[in-house]
């Protein structure tokens, strides 16, 4: 990027919420911004499960970064993957799509690189049990969910048919709970009259988690409410369960007593755990920064790496005061980082520490049911569902996406229609090796909540 004399150079790694909010805060600052991302779109990760289950198209939850940045004349978007930094020379090391190395100089660096799915040391599970951190991940899950019903329809063996109609989800956080509920709604509502040889409502959805209850982070009241609603929906809860093995035929699960049980399931989906991408480790090694157990970079109250005030870490890849990896944290840290850099670029001091304002959390269970924790209030059911709708409409980028999402919800929630579920025979999962060749690569970090 061409430098302007006297203008500070800012590099932002990641085009998720943290990166975009930093860009917005730098809109009128005397800086030139280079935004680096390995994807050309900004993704609203909390809605990926609705893309995976046919409610929304990818265009409703993802927006082209170049369109979002077209009015920001001081910002240049570069499609590349950041691989490390040289803090002494203040340069970001990156790789373009065809492998060509490239470097970017900076006066200030804002790291908003997001996180990726964690398999807790078992990356060999990734080809069998996809996570859900990117559009590509959700597309794989959509193929497997709707493809499983097709495989069951063409199967004569009752045992094999039952295996194809069994969905095992590992992880009972918001992603696991929301995806489990939607798969049951697909089976019992959307598809219930579309097949001749199978009954889609016979599909089993098994939800496994090592904790004692789903949505434990919402507190005991809402966790119990979620467990009740999931049970009514037909989701089978297996709490206190640790997955010890996954293969194309199913998974082995160990309970608190150490007993291992085998579950036959053709569809294993991984919704448990995240970890920082390799870039975080590279930055930590280069700067001497600490990392937490998930590989996130430990920062000070001003979001900077100790000893490197010019490097700010934001969003999911940041570790500070045990803040959760949610969109609101990414937005607020990105805004803070952008404002701080803007003040410093103008020669002004900025000593105000970052303060997080918790605006609450919400999780969708099923049609007309959600749980909400906000402003010291905990509630669920139909009121929670309406609050969930308004929250997520507000988080979507652009009025077109918001209107499109409302229309998609109207068809899905009032008429049981999910139009966004197209796939071909080449997309269908196979018994011993899934069809998509890229399934054989472990998941990589997306740009979602950050």
DSSP character string of 252-297: EEE-TTS-EEEEE-SEEEE-S-EE--HHHHHHHHHHT--B-TT-PE
Q: Residue 251's Cα: distance from chain center in Å? A: 24
Task: Give catalytic residues, as residue numbers.
Answer: 178
85 beta partners: 92
Contact 296, 111 (CB under 8 A): no
Contact 44, 397 (CB under 8 A): yes
Smallest CA-to-CA distance from 295 within 284, 311, 310, 308 is with 284
Smallest CA-to-CA distance from 446 within 279, 272, 214 is with 279
Q: What is the DSSP letter of 7?
A: P
13 beta partners: 36, 111
The structure tokens listed for 85 are: 């930094």
Q: How far apart are CA 22 and CA 75, in angstroms?
A: 11
Strands 235-239 and 204-209: parallel
How many degrees, rounded to 5, is the angle at CA 216 between CA 214 and CA 219?
125
Contact 165, 204 (CB under 8 A): yes
Number of neighbouring beta carbons within 10 Å of residue 76: 15
Smallest CA-to-CA distance from 163 within 147, 152, 176 is with 152
- For the stretch 295-324, what's the b/e string if a residue is b when 16 or more beta carbons lie within 10 angstroms of its beta carbon? bbbebeeebbbeebebbbbbbbbbbbeebe
Q: How far apart are CA 450 and CA 83, in angstroms?
A: 17
């Amino acid at each position: 990027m061409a430098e302007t004399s006297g203008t500070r150079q800012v590099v932002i790694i990641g085009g998720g919420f943290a990166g975009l909010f930093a860009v917005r805060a730098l809109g009128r600052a005397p800086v030139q911004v280079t935004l680096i991302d390995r994807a050309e779109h900004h993704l609203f990760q909390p809605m990926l499960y609705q893309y995976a289950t046919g409610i929304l198209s990818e265009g409703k939850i993802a927006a082209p970064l170049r369109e979002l940045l077209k009015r920001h004349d001081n910002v240049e978007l570069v499609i590349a993957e950041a691989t490390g930094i040289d803090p002494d020379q203040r340069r970001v090391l990156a790789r373009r799509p065809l492998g060509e190395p490239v470097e970017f100089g900076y006066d200030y660096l804002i790291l908003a690189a997001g996180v990726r799915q964690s398999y807790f040391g078992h990356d060999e599970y990734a080809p069998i049990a996809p996570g859900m951190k990117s559009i590509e991940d959700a597309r794989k899950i959509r193929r497997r969910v709707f493809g499983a019903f097709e495989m069951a329809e063409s199967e004569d063996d009752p045992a094999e048919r039952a295996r194809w109609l069994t969905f095992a989800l590992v992880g009972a956080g918001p992603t696991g709970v929301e995806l489990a509920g939607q798969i049951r709604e697909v089976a019992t509502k959307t598809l219930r009259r579309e097949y001749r040889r199978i009954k889609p409502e016979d599909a089993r959805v098994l939800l496994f988690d090592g904790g004692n209850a789903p949505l434990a982070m919402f507190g005991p009241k809402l966790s119990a409410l979620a467990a009740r609603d999931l049970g009514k929906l037909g989701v089978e809860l297996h709490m206190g369960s640790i997955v010890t093995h996954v293969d194309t035929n199913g998974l082995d699960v160990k309970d608190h007593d150490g007993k291992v049980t085998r579950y036959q399931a053709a569809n294993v989906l991984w919704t448990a755990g995240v970890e920082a991408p390799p870039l975080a480790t590279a930055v930590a090694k280069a700067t001497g920064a600490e990392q937490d157990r998930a590989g996130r970079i430990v920062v000070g109250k001003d979001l900077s790496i100790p000893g490197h005030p010019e490097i700010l870490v934001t969003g999911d890849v940041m570790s500070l005061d045990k803040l959760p990896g949610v969109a609101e944290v990414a937005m607020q840290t990105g805004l803070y980082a952008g404002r701080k850099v803007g003040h410093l670029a103008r020669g002004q001091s900025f000593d105000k520490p970052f303060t997080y304002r918790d605006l609450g959390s919400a999780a969708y269970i099923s049609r007309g049911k959600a749980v909400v924790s906000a402003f010291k209030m905990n509630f669920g059911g139909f009121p929670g569902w309406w609050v969930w709708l308004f929250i997520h409409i507000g988080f979507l980028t652009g009025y077109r996406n918001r209107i499109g999402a409302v229309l998609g919800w109207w068809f899905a929630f009032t008429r049981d229609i999910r139009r966004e579920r197209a796939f071909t025979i080449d997309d269908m999962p196979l018994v011993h090796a899934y069809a998509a060749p890229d399934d054989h690569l472990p998941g990589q970090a997306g740009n979602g909540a950050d």
